[in-house]
Chains A and B, each alone.
Chain A
Amino acid sequence: MTFDERYFDIGRLDRLSYGQTLVHRLDPRAKVIATFLFLLTVVSYPKYEIVALAPLFLYPVLLMTLGEIPVRFIMRKVLFVSPFAVFIGIFNPLLDPGTFAVLPGVHVSAGWISFASILLKFALTISAALLLIATTSFPGVCHALRRLGFPALFVSQLLFLYRYLFVLAEEAMRIIRARDMRSFGRRGTGMRVFGRVVGILFLRTVDRAERVYYAMLSRGFAGDIPSLRRSRMAPADLMFLLLMAVFLSGLRFFPVTEGIGRMAQEMFG
């Protein structure tokens, strides 16, 4: 995926976060905490675990359906995103020669099992992070972080970055277009030109920051970005967190999947 496509995906995620569903209305803090609990639970499974990870998919599926987030969009992002984990994981089947009896008579190399486990964890963690943004909005997450005790300076960084991301991306696109019109094929895309082009972008950025600063001063800026939305943790939010904790710890400490499988075996066999 090229950078431009990823950039347009930011806009798409941003629009999705304007939704007004049950999931969108939950307090951002509750969702941030729940996402972290979920991620910790997912990565805490040992490296050969596959089946116990299956019930965890309930969380992203519920968020997607209740939050009316298009499934394909999230799936496409999960598929095309950062191949690092896959690249490192693919060595497992080559390097882990142990075998693992799946069914009577069927043996699978342990490396493939741990690779599959990495892939499942990858899908779960990435989709949880994307769904947090798609159902909460970036400013929502930032203000939640602020109220969870993150430094104000860092949070205002994040808000500024997000606000000007789109403006500067347009600026960069104009520069790229200008460069492409003056160069043929790959010519003109070397590092020397790049240094100058980015230097120009930098100077324009600094000038813009100056203008932004004066505009903000005249609107009463005193070093902090306050949020007008005063949200409180409602009973529904606490209920959501409680359910999440019960769901995750239940799955983590009891072999739920195997239990269901054994019940099914007894019923039908």
Chain B
Amino acid sequence: MHMADALLSPAVGTTLWAGSVAVGGYASRRLRERIDDRAIPLMGVLGAFIFAAQMINFTIPGTGSSGHLGGGMILAIFLGPHAGFLVMASVLTVQALFFADGGLLALGCNIWNLGIYPCYLAYPLLYKPLAGGSRSLGRILAASLASAAAALQLGAFSVVVETLLSGKSELPFGAFALLMQPIHLAIGIVEGLVTAGVIGYVQGARPELLEGMAAARPLGAEVSLKKVVATFAVLAILTGGALSWFASTHPDGLEWSVRKVTAGLGLKEAEEGIAPVLKGIQEWTALLPDYRFKPKGGRPGKAAPWPEREAGTSLAGIIGAAIVLGVILLIGFGIRSCRRRES
């Protein structure tokens, strides 16, 4: 469920990058205040642990297919929200750079979807109250299931919203959401079971480890819920406003960049912009029961019908593309053969 560069528009990509960087800065500031130096290697090595754990696969009962760990919830539970978030962000960065999971521009989205939701929403709002520091396996199981499922639902829903606001995919909101949410509910349940299994094992083998780490991070306790909720409300409104403005001005080549340069018409655009999004949400709620593909018009970020281009222009375009690609290939082969001759 990694978001991909190719589905993103620059506006959505950079907005979520900005959001993730802001949260990352906040997390590291909070950690700096009272972190023990000991935790720095621990966090890094636990990031590597998530990778190693992903190498071990398991069989999902009933389906026969194999799954592996996502890791966001485990990190939040063992390290607390701030450290967990930073470690998850570094795991996703390595995945983006080496495995090209998603891509670098989509990294902002992925950190948002897979890091912020488990660490800053699911953990403080669901896991902590449900588990409540108790040692009973049942409560740990219930808390892990609820929080992992919730975090993945939010993440999957964000992928839908980010893709639609970028306007590169044709999938309508309702169908896309129906495609993503149930799959990620299943993934979330499996993730919750696995998380509970690992936490339960560590609890049984070395209970002091969980308590020790909880004591070493007095963060969870004094993070007030109100603050978290308020921060998220503000962030949601800000990003929603900014995103819908860009979505409404649907990037159309040169015009888009020109319009971006000649700013100042921001306010009017924003008013126009939120309306279609709201309309989209309305339509989504209305459309969900009868599951119809492609509602006629009115999806946020949907372009006007493709204007038929003059045939001559695009013929020139195709010829040009062929020439350009040929020249690039020639340059590539030329440099390579020069190099070979040198060595």
Binding site for B on A (CB under 8 A): 3-4, 6-7, 9-10, 13, 35-36, 39-40, 42-52, 54-55, 57-58, 61-62, 64-66, 68, 71, 77-78, 81-82, 84-85, 88-89, 91-92, 94-96, 98-104, 110-111, 114, 117-119, 121-122, 125-126, 128-130, 132-133, 138, 141, 150-154, 156-165, 167-169, 171-173, 175-176, 179, 186, 189-203, 205-206, 208-210, 212-213, 216-217, 221-223, 252-253, 255-262, 264-265
Q: Is the interface of A mostly helix, strand, loop or mixed?
A: helix
Known: A165-B51, A260-B319. 11 other contacts (CB 8 A): A46-B251, A71-B332, A101-B309, A102-B315, A129-B97, A164-B45, A169-B52, A190-B61, A195-B198, A222-B37, A262-B316
Name B194-240 residues within 8 Å CB distance of A. Answer: 194, 196-198, 200-202, 205-206, 209
Q: Per a CB cutoff under 8 Å, which of B60, B169, B194 touches A89?
A: B169
Q: A81-B101, A101-B314, A209-B42 are in contact. Are A122 and B94 (CB under 8 A)?
A: no
Chain A residues contacting B190 (CB-CB under 8 Å) are: 191
Most chain B CB within a 10 A radius of its CB, from A103, A190, A257:
A257
Question: Which positions 171-198 of chain B face chain A at CB distance < 8 Å?
Answer: 171-172, 176, 190, 193-194, 196-198
Within 8 A of A (CB), among B283-317: 293-294, 303, 305-306, 308-309, 311, 313-317
Cα distance A20–B146 when bound, in Å?
51
Could you show 8 A-B contacts with beta carbons less than 8 Å apart? A3-B57, A43-B6, A51-B321, A81-B100, A85-B7, A161-B94, A205-B45, A256-B320
Give A257 to B324 CA distance when docked, in angstroms. 7
Contact B168 A114 (CB under 8 A): yes
Contact of A199 among B96, B105, B202, B252 (CB under 8 A): B202
Q: A114-B170, A129-B104, A198-B56 are in contact. Are A265 and B316 (CB under 8 A)?
A: yes
Contact across chains for A195 and B316 when beta carbons are under 8 A apart: no
Tell me the complex Cα distance, A58–B315, Å: 22
* Contact mask for chain B residues 78-89; partner A; CB cutoff 8 A; 1 contact, 0 none: 100000001101
B171 touches A91 (CB 8 A): yes
Minimum distance in angstroms from B216 CB to a CB of chain A: 12
Partner of A95, one of B7, B37, B98, B171: B171
A28 to B94, CA, bound (A): 16
Q: Are the C-beta atoms of A125 and B321 separated by less than 8 Å?
A: no
Of the candidates A39, A194, A255, the one whose C-beta lies within 8 Å of that of B56 is A194
Instruction: Return the chain A residue nearest B71 by Cβ.
Output: A198
Contact of A78 among B4, B100, B202 (CB under 8 A): B100
Q: Tell me whether B242 is interfacial, beta carbon within 8 Å.
A: no
Interface residues of B in 27-58 (CB under 8 A from A): 28-29, 31-32, 35, 37-38, 40-49, 51-58
CA of A156 to CA of B7, assembled, Å: 31
Interface contact A223-B317, CB-CB below 8 Å? no
Residues of B within 8 A of A111 (CB): 170
Give the interface of B toward A (CB within 8 A): 1-10, 13-14, 24-25, 28-29, 31-32, 35, 37-38, 40-49, 51-61, 64, 66, 68-69, 78, 86-87, 89-91, 93-94, 96-105, 163, 167-172, 176, 190, 193-194, 196-198, 200-202, 205-206, 209, 251-254, 256-257, 293-294, 303, 305-306, 308-309, 311, 313-325, 328-329, 331-332, 335-336, 339
B255 CB to nearest A CB, Å:
10
A100 to B314 alpha-carbon distance, docked (Å): 10
Report if A46-B257 is in contact (Cβ < 8 Å); known contacts: A6-B99, A175-B56, A176-B55.
Answer: no
Residues of A within 8 A of B313 (CB): 258
Contact present for B196 and A205 (CB under 8 Å): no
